[in-house]
């Protein structure tokens, strides 16, 4: 009996320790927020889908409070009034702007406060009502609403350009019909291109022309080599022979000049001899 009692006491003590730890963590997280808070009202026009009681309130991206309640405006059912609990140290001014910020694609929203000049007056309430901020008309548009707006703009653009789009589609259809009607000609053109290029084997007309040009270049190279050899041989032997011939010619001219000079000096020698 005492053993069972010890088990019960041990279990209760362990449970109390766990609850106390969770309570301490919750108190530690909320201690700063719950110390000094100020209530504010934000009036939204339209749907605030994704915004719930307990949603965060941020000021310039920093969490400063949470949504304490959501109600409809009894005077205008199109408007939604959100009651905020914000840290008193947050500088909410008369020109502070309020809106909704959506967390990724989850659809969950939070109230975003931003702006406000340092010289602006602090936001104050009237009578017993908390200070009130009026959100921008587009601030309550959720992700799906924005998507619908984009689709509406696209639909409007398509409607405005319906005639041009129809003409473009008709032109595309004409082109495809023309291609379909001339498919055989296209096949012939492709076959001609393949015959011209030779495909992957390189035996087309272009390949053969390239081979012929390469062969002609090789022949010209060989002939230029032979011509160069002939020129070298001529320069080595022919120039020497020409030089000897020139020397003999100069000698002959000298003898001829000597003979003409003798004739001029002794013209009788042509008839009577020396």
Task: Mark which of 108, 141, 174 sits at the end of a domain.
Answer: 141
The structural domain count of the chain equals 2
Q: Is residue 22 in a domain?
A: no
Shared domain for 137 and 225, answered yes or no, is no
Q: Give the structural domain span for 120.
A: 35-141
Q: What is the pLDDT of residues 178-235, one digit of tens each?
A: 777 777 776 777 777 666 666 555 566 666 666 777 777 777 777 777 777 766 766 6
Residue 65 has pLDDT above 90, yes or no: yes
pLDDT band at 86 (very low <50, low <70, confident <90, very high): very high
pTM: 0.42
80 lies in a domain? yes
Q: Report if residue 196 sits inside a domain.
A: no
Dump the DSSP string for the chain.
Answer: -HHHHHHHHHHHHHHHHHHHHHHHHHHHHHHHHHHSEEEEEEEEES--TT--TT-EEEETTEEEEEEEEEEE-TT-TTEEEEEEEEETTS--BTT-EEEEEE-TTS--EEEEEE---TTSPBP--STTSPPEEE--GGGG--HHHHHHHHHHHHHHHHHHTHHHHHHHHHHHHHHHHHHHHTHHHHHHHHHHHHHHH-TTTT-SHHHHHHHHHHHHHHHHHHHHHHHHHHHHHIIIIIHHHHHHHHHHHHHHHHHHHHHHHHHHH-TTHHHH--
């Amino acid at each position: 009996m005492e053993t069972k009692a010890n088990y019960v006491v041990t279990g209760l003590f362990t449970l109390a320790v766990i609850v106390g730890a969770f309570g301490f963590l919750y108190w530690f997280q909320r201690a700063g927020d719950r110390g000094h808070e100020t209530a504010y009202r934000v009036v939204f026009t339209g749907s605030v889908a994704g915004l719930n009681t307990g949603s965060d309130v941020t000021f310039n991206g920093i969490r400063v409070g949470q949504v304490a309640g959501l109600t409809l405006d009894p005077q205008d059912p199109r408007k939604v009034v959100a009651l905020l609990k914000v840290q008193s140290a947050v500088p909410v001014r008369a020109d502070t702007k309020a809106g909704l910020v959506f967390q990724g694609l989850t659809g969950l929203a939070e109230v975003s406060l931003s702006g406000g000049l340092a010289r602006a007056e602090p936001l104050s309430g009237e009578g017993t009502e908390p200070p009130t901020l009026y959100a921008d008309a587009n601030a309550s548009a959720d992700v799906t609403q924005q998507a619908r707006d984009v689709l509406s703009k696209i639909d409007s653009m398509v409607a405005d350009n319906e005639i041009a789009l129809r003409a473009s589609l008709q032109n595309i259809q004409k082109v495809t019909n023309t291609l379909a009607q001339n498919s055989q000609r296209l096949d012939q053109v492709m076959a001609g291109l393949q015959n011209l290029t030779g495909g992957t084997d390189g035996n087309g007309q272009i390949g053969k022309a390239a081979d012929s040009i390469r062969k002609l270049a090789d022949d010209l190279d060989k002939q230029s080599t032979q011509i160069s050899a002939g020129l070298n041989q001529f320069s080595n032997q022919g120039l020497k022979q020409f030089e000897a011939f020139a020397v003999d010619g100069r000698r002959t001219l000298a003898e001829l000049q000597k003979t003409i000079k003798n004739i001029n000096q002794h013209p009788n020698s042509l008839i009577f001899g020396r």
